[in-house]
Amino acid sequence: MMRSLYAIFATALLGVLGFTKPATACSTTTACEVPTGEYVITLPDDNNEQRPAIVFVHGFGGSGPGVFRNTSMVTAFTDRGYAVIAPSGLPRTNGNGGSWSFHPDRTQRRDEIAFLTSVRDDAIARHGIDPDKIILAGFSIGGSMTAYMACAVPETFAAYAPVGGNFWRPHPTQCTGPVRMLHTHGWTDGTVPLEGRVLRGSDSRDPAALMQGDVFYALSLWRETNGCFQLKPDGYVTDGPFLIRKWTNCAEDSALEFALFPGGHVIPRGWATLTMNWFEGL
């Protein structure tokens, strides 16, 4: 209800400020502009004026338009009636794609939380998106951006679905909650291993080293954030290639699942369907 009331206010405000444009102004190749950046979008072939959506945050060196090269993922969402929204990270200094200022302890090139919130509000105003049915998801560093957004302002999106990325070291010690999260990760991921790895510095004892986080630590923090009664999962499910651990005895309006698949640093085939089934079952 709070999201709905906020969305009504945001829609009216965007119109007053002149941000609202016809939906045809944006596409997968023509960007929608918001005050600190832009996004691209594709809509399902229907007349639903309150459609669900997924906002997908690209990985390191990617772009919003580049998300749509994953046609099987995008088609899976649009065939189920979801809009697919892909914001763009700020260009890297060498001009090779974009990235995100996701870690709160490091230099912030842009207020990414404010940016992604403005993408959400603009999409609601322009494209008939249901404010209570928007998932924020992302791959790799985009998954990390998704996790930090969920940690800081979980009420901004209805659910969060990072793939192959979560917190970095130094890990956050607490998050606002509760949150609805499905984290998916490859068993043999060597780019973002489940335990993380050192990217810069002599070894993991170097305080200046840039280090990825530990997914198992992230899960422990999400359990704490959601007030889960047990450390161990309350249920286990095998769904195609996915081995899923579920924590259900937790705070009201929360959700936490961890899906492992036998692969590396990729968005696995079937992830879109897995995510929609999870979200629609909440």
Spatial CA neighbour of 159 closest among 231, 256, 234, 79: 256
Q: How far apart are CA 178 and CA 154, in angstroms?
A: 7
Label the pairing between strands 51-57 and 32-34: unpaired
Tell me the average pLDDT across 151-173.
97
| pLDDT grade for 9, boundaries at 50, 70 and 90 | very low
pLDDT computed for residue 47 by the predictor:
85
Do 59 and 100 form a contact (C-beta atoms < 8 A)? no
pLDDT bucket at 122, cuts 50 / 70 / 90: very high
State how far the Cα of 93 lies from the Cα of 96, in Å rounded to an integer. 8
With bands split at pLDDT 50, 70 and 90, how would you rate the model's confidence at 103? confident
Beta strand pairing call for 32-34 and 90-91? unpaired
Residue 202: per-residue pLDDT:
58
For residue 19, is pLDDT > 80? no
pLDDT bin (cut points 50, 70, 90) of residue 183 is: very high
Domain ranges for the chain: 2-280
Give the DSSP letter string of 34-70: ETTEEEEEE--SS--SSEEEEEEE--TTB-HHHHTT-
Task: Write down the pLDDT at residue 209.
Answer: 81
Q: How confident is the model over 112-140, as a mean pLDDT? A: 97
Under 8 Å between Cβ of 171 and 151: no
Question: pLDDT, tens digit, for every residue of 246-273?
Answer: 999 999 999 999 999 999 999 999 999 9
Q: Does domain 2-280 have CATH number 3.40.50.300?
A: no
Compute the distance between CA of residue 131 and CA of residue 151 in angstroms, rounded to an integer.
Answer: 19
